[in-house]
Amino acid sequence: MSRPLILDFDGSAGFLDGTVVDLRGRQEAIRFGCRMSALRALGDELAPALSAMPSTVFLGSGDYHHVSYLLIERLRRLATPMQVVVFDNHPDNMRYPFGIHCGSWVSHVSRLPFVSCVHVIGITSADVEGFNVWQNHLAPLNSGRVRYWCVGRDLRGMRRLGIKRSHSFATVSDLLDQFDHESRTWKQPVYLSIDKDVLSPDVVQTNWDQGVMTLEELERAIGMVLKLVIASDVTGEVSTYRFTTRYKRILAALDHQPEIPEGSLTLWQEQQQAVNRRLLSMLAGVSEHAGQFGANALEIALP
Ligand SMILES: [Mn+2]
């Protein structure tokens, strides 16, 4: 069982027992969004830590979800087609003209030739409805390389644009039944990316608007694909940061990130750690069965 790797940009996930990489010096550059070149520079710095094939990487706040792209992109060396399963309250497949960011990384992943499909599960955000539909990358939705699994949204706008493989369900339970039905036939390995904003605010608090899943529902969904999972990451820690760069302050404000009330941060981080330990106990064994998909070859292939 490999220890989790903690990418500590923001001090939020540092309480877990794992290998910590101190990246606080990169917080301003990477948080929320960055140029692809900045992400690649981060990838170079992380190469030694990633060569140990951690089964789970903690990225901190959902503001770093685009770092998942780096973690998935390096699986190219496995030379096997795979699916990516993302639990998130948002599509993370939006248009963003300045490089890659926490709300657009899924579209970049969907263009990787070895990724056959990205399933984004648990979306309750209005990003998928009405005029907001036009802010989504539509081509991968049309082709079915990206599929949304929403709860309680109206996807008629998407249907009118010919998007057929994304669905909204009345309840999480309905969604899980369908996911169970489909995933039973899957053969390809799965990369799993969990943004805890998919969970109801009764379970944890993140610094984004949140979905409706309970922890038990999330665990049930993970369980459906667990034997296929070759690697995973977790985001959605709660943390605050005031950007020193003005354009980043403006972009973050446009996305209406809620303020964290004074005095709540410590309690919220404790709730988060309890969830992290539960997720980790599920995911810790991933590296043991990853070998069947050639994931051991990854270690050998690394310089
Ligand atoms: Mn996300």
CA of 47 to the centre of ligand 1 (A): 23
CA of 92 to the centre of ligand 1 (A): 6
CA of 303 to the centre of ligand 1 (A): 31
CA of 186 to the centre of ligand 1 (A): 24
CA–CA dist 210, 86 (Å, integer): 15
Q: Are 120 and 106 in contact (CB under 8 A)?
A: yes
* 27-98-148 Cα angle (round to 5): 90
CA of 236 to the centre of ligand 1 (A): 7
Place of tokens 């309970």: 214
pLDDT at 298 over 70: no
CA–CA dist 117, 143 (Å, integer): 10
Cα separations in angstroms, 89 against 34, 73, 78, 210, 291: 22, 23, 29, 6, 31
Q: What pLDDT, on the 0 to 100 scale, is given for residue 301?
A: 44
Identity of residue 300: I
Which residues hold their Cβ within 5 A of ligand 1, which is an ion? 62, 65, 88, 92, 195
Neighbouring CB atoms inside 10 A of 47's CB total 13
Q: Is 134 left (phi over 0), alpha (psi -120 to 50) or beta?
A: alpha
Cα dihedral: 13, 18, 21, 24 (round 10)? 20
CA of 39 to the centre of ligand 1 (A): 16
pLDDT in tens, 93-129: 999 999 999 999 999 999 999 999 999 999 999 999 9
CA of 276 to the centre of ligand 1 (A): 16
Q: What is the pTM of this model?
A: 0.92
CA of 69 to the centre of ligand 1 (A): 12
Q: What pLDDT, on the 0 to 100 scale, is given for residue 17?
A: 83
CA of 150 to the centre of ligand 1 (A): 14
pLDDT in tens, 208-225: 899 999 999 999 999 999
What the chain holds in terms of domains, given with CATH numbers, is 5-301 (3.40.800.10)
pLDDT at 303 over 50: no
CA atoms within 13 A on the CB side of 53: 21
pLDDT in tens, 60-98: 999 999 999 999 999 999 999 999 999 999 999 999 999
pLDDT at 174 over 80: yes
